[in-house]
Amino acid sequence: MTTVQRRLNDVDIETVGSLVAAIQADSDKAQTVWSSTVIWKGGFASEARSREFDPTPSDEPVSLGGEDTASNPVEQLLGALGNCLAVGYAANATVAGIELRDVRIELEGDLDLHTFLGLTDGHAGFSGIRARVYIESDADRGALAALHQKVTGTSPVGHTLTRAIPVEVTLA
């Protein structure tokens, strides 16, 4: 019989197990809606707020007409992907009984400014994103490779980026 540690990687795996059981009993519990409110602060500065947490400030570099007071939206998008992958490693490592000492994820994205600046029509966004994951763990390479495959196969932000999803922006 396999005994799963109650707490590994500071993850309380029983809570996740309870959610899984609740969803298995009632599939509707898996349908979630997330939200954010963004307030423009003048210039290219704004802030995004979710629930009761401190807002995430946003700005653009001086070269793009901003005042460079905060990371810009495309950097935040990369950060959201990296934070999502980090949750995935922590969750799936814990389920697999793998202890993680450190996880660091370096992300990069390529962006052609022509469309954003109105110089051409076409794709204004990232043409591609690369993430490199550095894991410190005593687990063997095979276990880490399996973990990696699991994480990339179940990442909410990763999947949102690799699939074309409907984004409906309406003017109130």
* Six-digit token string for 42: 């003048």
Q: Decide whether 97 or 107 has the Cβ nearer to its own copies.
A: 107
Report the run of H or E that residue 8 belongs to, with start and end: strand 7-8
What string marks each residue from 93 to 112 as x (binds its own copies by CB under 8 A) or -?
--x----x-xxxxxxxxxxx
Q: Decide whether 138 or 163 has the Cβ nearer to its own copies.
A: 163
Report the run of H or E that residue 72 belongs to, with start and end: none
Report the run of H or E that residue 41 belongs to, with start and end: none
Q: Decide whether 5 or 154 has the Cβ nearer to its own copies.
A: 154
Least separation in angstroms between residue 3's CB and its own copies is 19
Touching its own copies, residues 113-152 (CB under 8 A): 113-119, 121, 123-135, 144-145, 148, 150-152
Distance CA 74, CA 77 (A): 5
Q: Distance of alpha carbon 156 from its chain centroid, rounded? A: 7
Give the position of tokens 């880490």: 144
* List 4, 12, 99, 140, residue binding its own copies (CB under 8 A): 12
Distance CA 38, CA 56 (A): 9
Least separation in angstroms between residue 101's CB and its own copies is 10
What string marks each residue from 49 to 88 as x (binds its own copies by CB under 8 A) or -?
xxx-x--x-x-x-xxxxx---xxxxxxxxxxxxxxxxxx-
Distance CA 62, CA 69 (A): 9
What string marks each residue from 30 to 49 as x (binds its own copies by CB under 8 A) or -?
xxxxxxxxxxx-xxx-xxxx
